Amino acid sequence: MEEITVFLSQSFHDVDKEVVQYFENICEGLKIRYTCFDIAASGVLPETLRNKITDTQALIAICSQRSLRIDGTFDMSPAIRTEIDIAFALEKPVLLFCEENVFCDIIIDKLGTWISFSKSNLSDPDFMRKVISSINEFKLKVSSGDIPVANFFTGEYYIQSYRSLISLENKNNKLIWSHYNTKRLIFRDKLQRPVTTGVWPCTPTPIAADSEPGNYSITIDKSSKHFDFDEKVNIKNFDTFEASIRFIPDPDRGDWIEWSREFSSQYINPLSLAKTSLPNQLKINVDGKDYYAFDGITPDEPTANLLIKFSFDKSYGLSPDDIRPIAIHYGRVFNYHATEELTRVRKKIEYIRGNLSVELEVTFPKNNLMYGLAWNPPIL
């Protein structure tokens, strides 16, 4: 088997010695030659470091936790970030191993794989097989020059960061569903067309005669330069919202726009269900159990990182036993589960101020696949 040489970007702190040795041993077992440098200790100049990375075929980065950020996540080492940036500039394939809760906004065409790890699960046999398999696959693709995600970002733009909050909030003693989405668009070419957004109910519910349509807002939060937009609302009723927006002026290569959309209504998902009255098409079965409500995000554009947060008001009465993360093929009707894809999703379930909170995160989510939750509302 042909050997390759990689730059192994790593921490030199004592707290990370064990995890670094773990990855070094795997590389040696797979006959991968590696080189690395302690920039702080050796005083390696950027140009010298650039030459060292130039002499390798790829970069494997072990992104350990470093300084704590205000949002509770961690930065990676600035030295590791510098080495990754140099590899990207040299168009080297990159394989990232990010310790849990490490903030990483590094997105580029040559990104091979992004795998999360924790120091506590390094010895887990399933995780070890996953690491060995991913490094070996990366090696084979580097050897052959075949990095399949090199063409991942096609079209005029891609979504670098897709953040969504699906919440059930108590507003003036009334439970209201809200869908909040924030997307950061990176433009690779001039965009001369609108972008679309929408919210649709997965489980339609009866609508009271005196109800009012849902409320929405669209904003540009940040951008590389000043942009306005024209919006066209196609549908806005009690449980559905569809719109398109056209940025002004047309964004061009090198521009970026971070924009948000909110839609709120008490009818997006059921607040209560009489189980015996539900038709079969309004439920899905997960691991042998029926669930009578589900919601999530279905990417339909190239997306690098998707983070979905669910928050259920405590008066709704949900517990962790009532919910299940899902990845499903869904086109207004449930088709089938993408069980293997669900294993890539990072999951976190907790209570915050008595409200049930669920966090799902996946890198390079598949288009037209729904990532989300199934749950059982109170049965009245």
Looking up residue 70, the CATH number of its domain turns out to be 3.40.50.360
Q: What is residue 102's predicted lDDT score, i.e. its pLDDT?
A: 85
Alpha-carbon distance of 297 to 282, in angstroms, equals 18
197 and 74 in a single domain? The answer is no
66 and 171 in a single domain? The answer is no
How many domains are there within the chain?
2
Q: How far is CA 96 from the centre of its chain?
A: 15
Q: What is residue 380's predicted lDDT score, i.e. its pLDDT?
A: 52
28 in a domain, yes or no? yes
54 and 137 in a single domain? The answer is yes
Structure pTM?
0.62
Q: What is residue 61's predicted lDDT score, i.e. its pLDDT?
A: 92
Q: What is residue 158's predicted lDDT score, i.e. its pLDDT?
A: 86
115 and 199 in a single domain? The answer is no
274 and 363 in a single domain? The answer is yes
42 and 181 in a single domain? The answer is no
126 and 260 in a single domain? The answer is no
221 and 130 in a single domain? The answer is no
Alpha-carbon distance of 357 to 318, in angstroms, equals 10
127 and 219 in a single domain? The answer is no
Q: What is residue 154's predicted lDDT score, i.e. its pLDDT?
A: 57
Provide the CATH number for the domain around residue 329. 2.60.40
Alpha-carbon distance of 199 to 298, in angstroms, equals 10
69 CB-near residues (< 8 Å, 6+ apart): 75, 103
189 in a domain, yes or no? yes
Of 319, 325, 341, 344, give the one whose Cα is nearest residue 286. Answer: 325
146 and 161 in a single domain? The answer is no
255 CB-near residues (< 8 Å, 6+ apart): 187, 223, 224, 225
Of 244, 182, 174, give the one whose Cα is nearest residue 210. Answer: 174
268 and 167 in a single domain? The answer is yes
Q: What is residue 152's predicted lDDT score, i.e. its pLDDT?
A: 47
79 and 187 in a single domain? The answer is no
Successive 10-residue mean pLDDT values, the chain, 380 residues:
85 89 92 80 62 89 86 82 73 86 62 74 88 89 65 71 94 91 89 93 81 92 92 93 96 89 93 59 81 91 92 91 89 72 90 92 87 85
Last residue of a domain, one of 133, 151, 169: 151
Query: For strand 293-297 and strand 289-291, is the pairing parallel, antiparallel, or unpaired?
Result: unpaired
Under 8 Å between Cβ of 301 and 367: yes
Question: Amino acid identity of 218?
Answer: I
Q: What is residue 341's predicted lDDT score, i.e. its pLDDT?
A: 86
Last residue of a domain, one of 151, 166, 184: 151
Last residue of a domain, one of 132, 151, 170: 151
144 in a domain, yes or no? yes
Domain that holds residue 33: 4-151
380 in a domain, yes or no? no
- Cis omega (within 30 of 0) for bond into 249: yes
Q: What is residue 149's predicted lDDT score, i.e. its pLDDT?
A: 40
